Amino acid sequence: MTLLRTIDLAKHFVLDTDMRGRPTEVEKAVDGVDLTLAENEILGLVGESGCGKTTLARLLLRILRPTRGEVHLDGRRIDHLSERSLREIRPKLQAVFQDPSESLNPRFTIGESIGEGLRHLTDLSHDESRRRVHEGMERVGLPARIADHYPHQLSGGQRQRVGIARALVLRPRLVILDEPTSALDVSIQAQIINLLFDLKDENRLSYIFISHDLNLVRYVSDRIGVMVAGRIVEMGPTRDVVENPEHTETRTLLEAVARERVAGSAPGGPGRG
């Protein structure tokens, strides 16, 4: 069953206008993206930096309003909803961000950060929220005692676990992972990826996994989409895309992976691009 579908989704940023306010310079960050995601599926989105991956993620999460196009979640159109109506959708649609030291407010304790979604999106009592927060911390392998700590007291891997727990306590159906491991050490990356796999199986989650690292994306994804300049140029099951690349960009990304293999710098499993 289809969980998420976008139709001709686009976001244009106006960089400059003339005297009458008409745009003269427009950046087409996302320019007509159609994609579908089935339940319990992992869709990998890969592309070079600047190709619009993060903008696409922000459009799906409705941090940005699309210039045109539609987003349907679970059969309901969500791209035009007001901030108030979005509150019903938000628990289903969560995200884990790239840099855990940037995505956690340095002045919030870990417990406050993880409980933030519960505070805004649910009517749980204080005690219930606390219980859910501790439950969430346990599920991502964080000791309960660090709930009163601040982000700077944690390691990078622990911080990203906080980021994951924060999304999970809301019991989402779709989690958008925007480069969730690229700010982490290689050994920690593997742990986080395995944690994400486990959580997916336990909770019947779907992921959109965004990365610039094809090696990593092919390892985790059921299907892959390759993005170039705001468009998805190639999309299909992981095997097909990797073994039979149709687009030159896909080949370039694959060659980059191959070169790393030869140089011996890439680890066997998930690694840095």
| Residue 22 to residue 188: CA distance in whole angstroms | 48
How far is 192 from 184, CA to CA, in rounded Å? Answer: 9
Q: Which of residues 73-112 bind another protein (CB under 8 A)?
A: 83, 86-87, 90-91, 93-95, 97-99, 102-107
Of the pair 18, 83, the CB lying nearest another protein is at 83
Binding of residue 214 to another protein (CB under 8 A): no
Spatial contact of 86 and 71, defined as CB atoms under 8 Å apart:
no
Nearer residue to another protein within complex by CB, 48 or 99: 99
Q: Which stretch binds another protein (CB under 8 A): 66-74, 115-123, 128-136, 214-222?
A: 115-123
Closest contact distance (angstroms) between CB of 199 and another protein is 17
Name the residue nearer to another protein (CB basis): 42 or 95.
Answer: 95
End-to-end CA distance of the chain: 33
Interface characters, 131-150, with another protein (x: CB under 8 A): -------------------x
**CB neighbour list of residue 86: distance below 8 Å, 6 or more residues apart:** 62, 78
Q: Which of residues 170-199 bind another protein (CB under 8 A)?
A: 170
Taking the C-alpha atoms of residue 198 and residue 139, their distance in angstroms, rounded to an integer, is: 10
Q: How far apart are CA 192 and CA 155, in angstroms?
A: 13
Q: Which of residues 94 and 211 has its CB atom nearest to another protein in the complex?
A: 94
Helix (H) or strand (E) holding 25: strand 23-38
Please give the size of the binding site for another protein, defined by CB under 8 A. 29
Q: Looking at residue 67, what DSSP letter applies?
A: S
Q: Are β-strands 223-228 and 231-237 bridged in parallel, bridged antiparallel, or unpaired?
A: antiparallel
**Contacts with another protein, residue ranges (CB under 8 A):** 58, 61, 63, 83, 86-87, 90-91, 93-95, 97-99, 102-107, 116-117, 120-121, 150, 152, 163, 166, 170
